[in-house]
Amino acid sequence: MIPMAGSAERSFLFPAELPAAFAFLGDVKRSFAFLSYISLEGSYSEDEYRLHYHALEAGFYKVDIFCDVQVLREEHPCSLIIRSLPGKAPVKSAARWNAMTCQGIYESQSVFHQDGENTRVDFSIQLAASLPVPVTLRLVPPAMVSKSTHNILQQRIEEVSSAFIERSIRAYSASLRS
């Protein structure tokens, strides 16, 4: 198995007062669409979902990580917490010639603070998994594979957080013009 983890923390100004910002970003089905590489795979209930991280790395390795999550909304402080959902049947880990599939852990937190006419959002995201080793990587030293996959995932998580910020602000601004 190849252990890997990535995380990012960002603060950004959302162009709305706190109630509107929380309502817009708190619609998690809409908000999941703002994440690059991560999509909504399915729903167990209103606040329980299966997410799918999918990426093609080095133009050759297909990576699929599935994460079961639950959404918690808190009012004091105003926050949206997405954490691992226990008790669901995990996807079966599998490695093929150039593809890896496994169950992982996704967590994120958004804490909302009124900032004049805007809302400051403190956003953090983490993704971790243990990928099965595909055939093409079995001859590469494990330490080299582990370091490389960690670096790639860290870069992807940075991209996910940047895309989330940009896409959510753009979508909210577009909704005001409609």
pLDDT digits (tens, 9 = 90+) for 111-147: 999 999 999 999 999 999 998 988 777 777 778 877 8
Higher pLDDT, 140 or 92: 92
How far is Cα 101 from Cα 93, in angstroms, rounded to an integer? 5
Cβ-contact 100, 71 below 8 angstroms: no
Cβ-contact 171, 130 below 8 angstroms: no
For position 91, what pLDDT does the model report? 96
How far is Cα 147 from Cα 145, in angstroms, rounded to an integer? 6
- Give the confidence band of 61 by pLDDT, cuts at 50, 70, 90: confident
For position 57, what pLDDT does the model report? 83
For position 88, what pLDDT does the model report? 96
- Give the confidence band of 90 by pLDDT, cuts at 50, 70, 90: very high
DSSP lists the bridge partners of residue 55 as 63
For position 167, what pLDDT does the model report? 97
For position 23, what pLDDT does the model report? 95
Domains, the chain, ranges and CATH? 2-177 (3.30.530.20)
Model confidence pLDDT, tens digit, residues 1-23: 888 899 999 999 999 999 999 99
Task: Look up tokens 């603060």; give the residue.
Answer: 11
Least confident of 38-42, 56-60, 129-133: 56-60
For position 138, what pLDDT does the model report? 77
| Average pLDDT of the segment spanning 59-86 | 94
